Structure 1
Amino acid sequence: MPRRSLADLAPGDLVDDVFLVASKQSRADRQGNLYLTLDLRDPTGNISARVWNVTKSLADSFESGDFLKVRAKAQYAQGITQLVVSHLEAVDPARLGLDPAAFLPKAPVSIAVLTSQLRGFLKSLDDPHLKALCDAFLMDDAFLADFTAVPAGVREHHAYQGGLLEHVVAMMTLASTVGELYPEVNRDLLLVGCFLHDVGKVRELSHQRGFDYTDEGQLVGHLSLGVSMVEEKLPLVQRLLGEPFPPETLLRIKHMILSHHGTLEFGSPKLPMTPEAVALHHLDALDSKLHAALREIRDDPDTASRWTRYDPKRNRRLFKGSAPPAAGEGEEDLD
């Protein structure tokens, strides 16, 4: 029996299928009874779920990244369709013949196309030192496999397989225009900053069964991990070059990685202090924030409303306005 698309569920529909637990939160109601808030995924999308009056043993029987056999009923609450779960149990997807990767969201653009675009930007570098540094990363098959699969974030922008790669390529595209408008900015250095600014996320985030933070990611973070990864490549870079890597160039790259969040309160230990670092911070913010806003408008479940739901993180709603006419709608028949 084919799996029903989650987008087609209507209030009252019954669900009996296997889902990936994308996130899990244990909470207590006003009477102190334990309940679970889940974000469940299947190959067609994701949906929120509630499990009321659970025992601690049931709550402890699974974690994010596990697979559950779920029986539930769809209901409409707070402007969205969600599941109220009556039964769940942890299952092994391999025993059921399921591919865990099929349950993870994927970039809308082909990974092969994005990887080709990344290589094209890096091939265009004129600086031999910067080109050798990038080659040292591209020659590492294990790194490249992770870099092209990891999301840019767990829940915010580009939260899907290949999301980091898509984010980096978008930033590189913007950086090329910046280089044309501002010739004082070192285009090669800015492109390399776009490539490496989030490189530490290949160690910060896990992506094989759901998206979550690794222990290393929680304790160290991708800014520090990114600097460490650059330093680890230096012996190979120097062998490729046949000479030492320029100390000031290395310093500028480390500074871009450490300062790209832009402000101390957002995790950067240093403020951007070079033209390339300033540009990198704003390119990162532009692509990530615009991507998140467009996704929020596109995925808003209340299609009849001209506004998205209120987002407490951003302290606002977004205006959707009227839906654009369908192709051909409103055109005069000239025959």
Structure 2
Amino acid sequence: MKQLSLVNNQKLTPKTMKNHFIKDMQSGDKLSNELLAVKSVRKGKTADGRDYVDLGLADKSGEIAGKIWADSLPHCDTVVEGDVVSICATVDEYRDKQQLKITFLQKTDSFDIADFLPTTSCDIGELWKTIDSTVSKIENKSLRALVEHFFADESFAEKFKRAPGAERVHHAYLGGLMEHTAQMVNSAEATLRDFPDMDKDLLLTGVLLHDIGKMDELAATHVIYRTLDGNLIGHVSIGAMTIDKAIDKIKKFPEKLRAKLLNMILGHHGRLEFGSPILPMTREAIALHYIDNLSAKANQADIAVRENQNGQQAFTDKIFTLDTKLYLE
């Protein structure tokens, strides 16, 4: 068994149960032997040259910053992103945000993974019914063969059901990708009722497949993080390459249809500066971009309001991805 460090001449006993979730922490709380996952690590120096470490810490309820000052560094293990740690700390406030002042930290492998991975609140079975029924609505033989290539594959389907929708911005929890996709299906069907001349099969195929690259961009252990391919290639390009390879296996897949679908996948972020290597250039690609954006932005707003409902403030802090703050009353 791993050697335990000492705090005030007492051993810090490893455990598997959390006492405090981040959402319940209050300024002044004293944390002892509390389990958190490390999401980021940054080393720095004060103006007088003393070392410190800034940590991004998380559990399934949220994230919080942690600070280790020079005096406490000898009592803290060196950690990297993805470690689970047991800490002693005080909950302080810095610039109106809670922050942990950490006096002791050690890595641990004794924890319950369910404490660290948030999961969709939606019914997984109902979400899958939405996805599966959408596949059955696609009438174009080439597009139907393409979506079935993915969703009829059991290993793909299971990975899709579990995959997070993002690392941190929107739908950033297990099942988030399927929740996001099902929401987009609902919006796409409403759009098609108002714009009946759009290609139904092409739009629905784009919705189902637009983010499958995230299944290789992201990984989830006890934190959600970007893989090597996620960092170096990104889900937009990964998705396009994956779909293009699948199309090669389908006999007589129309080249014009291939180009239109790949434009949707590559252009679904809508702008070059937002990660799309090409702009959306068809009615269906434009619709996909805005349907995607609606689901992402509404999810961010919904989470921000729910997470701040128990506070005293009338507004959230500014949410930079929404470029605004939100009224809470």
TM tier relative to shorter chain? 0.7 to 0.9
> What do the CA deviations read for 1:279-335 (whole angstroms, capped 9, x no partner)?
001111111112112222222377211111134555432222x2xxxxxxxxxxxxx
Match of 2:28 in 1: 12
Does residue 201 of structure 1 match 2:214? yes
Q: Which amino acid aligns with 1:307?
A: F
Q: Is the 8 A contact 1:264 1:270 kept in 2?
A: yes
1:101 Cα deviation from its structure 2 partner: 4.4
Match of 1:70 in 2: 87
TM-score normalised by L of structure 2: 0.86
Partners of 2:298 and 2:198 lie apart in 1 by 24
Does residue 273 of structure 1 match 2:281? yes
Q: Is the 8 A contact 1:149 1:207 kept in 2?
A: no
> What do the CA deviations read for 1:98-138 (whole angstroms, capped 9, x no partner)?
33244111111122321221111111212222111111101
Partners of 1:205 and 1:54 lie apart in 2 by 36
1:26 Cα deviation from its structure 2 partner: 3.0
The partner residue of 2:300 within 280, 292, 295 is 292
Does residue 249 of structure 1 match 2:257? yes
Q: Which runs of 5+ in 1 are unaligned?
A: 323-335
Match of 2:3 in 1: none
Q: Is the 8 A contact 1:224 1:258 kept in 2?
A: yes
- Matched positions, count: 312
Match of 1:176 in 2: 189
Partners of 2:107 and 2:206 lie apart in 1 by 43
Partners of 2:57 and 2:286 lie apart in 1 by 39
Q: Is the 8 A contact 1:151 1:163 kept in 2?
A: yes
1:209 Cα deviation from its structure 2 partner: 3.0
Q: Is the 8 A contact 2:184 2:295 kept in 1?
A: yes
Match of 1:81 in 2: 98
> What do the CA deviations read for 1:74-95 (whole angstroms, capped 9, x no partner)?
2233333332111001111xxx
TM-score normalised by L of structure 1: 0.85
Match of 2:232 in 1: 219
Does residue 139 of structure 1 match 2:139? no
Q: 1:121 to 1:108 in 2, by over 3 A?
A: same
Q: Is the 8 A contact 1:47 1:83 kept in 2?
A: yes
- Sequence identity percentage: 32
Does residue 189 of structure 1 match 2:202? yes
Partners of 1:302 and 1:74 lie apart in 2 by 18
1:259 Cα deviation from its structure 2 partner: 0.7
Q: Is the 8 A contact 1:68 1:88 kept in 2?
A: yes
Does residue 150 of structure 1 match 2:163? yes
> What do the CA deviations read for 1:149-179 (whole angstroms, capped 9, x no partner)?
2222111111111111111111111000111
> What do the CA deviations read for 1:224-263 (whole angstroms, capped 9, x no partner)?
1111111222355x2xxxx421222111111100111111
Match of 1:258 in 2: 266
Q: Which amino acid aligns with 2:246?
A: K
After superposition, residues 41-120 of structure 1 pair within 5 angstroms as 41-53=58-70, 61-92=78-109, 96=110, 98-120=111-133
* Most deviating of 247-256 and 33-42: 33-42
Give 3-state SS (helix, strand or coil) of 1:148's partner.
helix
Q: 1:166 to 1:34 in 2, by over 3 A?
A: farther
Partners of 1:252 and 1:60 lie apart in 2 by 52
Match of 2:241 in 1: 228
Partners of 2:287 and 2:138 lie apart in 1 by 18
Partners of 1:55 and 1:219 lie apart in 2 by 36
Match of 2:313 in 1: 305
Q: Is the 8 A contact 2:36 2:86 kept in 1?
A: yes
Q: Which runs of 5+ in 2 are unaligned?
A: 1-16
* Most deviating of 167-176 and 227-236: 227-236
Give 3-state SS (helix, strand or coil) of 1:233's partner.
helix
Q: 1:257 to 1:43 in 2, by over 3 A?
A: closer
Q: Is the 8 A contact 2:52 2:73 kept in 1?
A: no
Q: 1:276 to 1:88 in 2, by over 3 A?
A: same
Q: Which amino acid aligns with 1:255?
A: N
Partners of 2:102 and 2:293 lie apart in 1 by 38
CA RMSD of aligned residues (A): 2.4
Match of 1:330 in 2: none
Q: Which amino acid aligns with 1:177?
A: A
Q: 1:68 to 1:180 in 2, by over 3 A?
A: same
Q: Is the 8 A contact 2:267 2:276 kept in 1?
A: yes
Q: Is the 8 A contact 2:77 2:107 kept in 1?
A: no
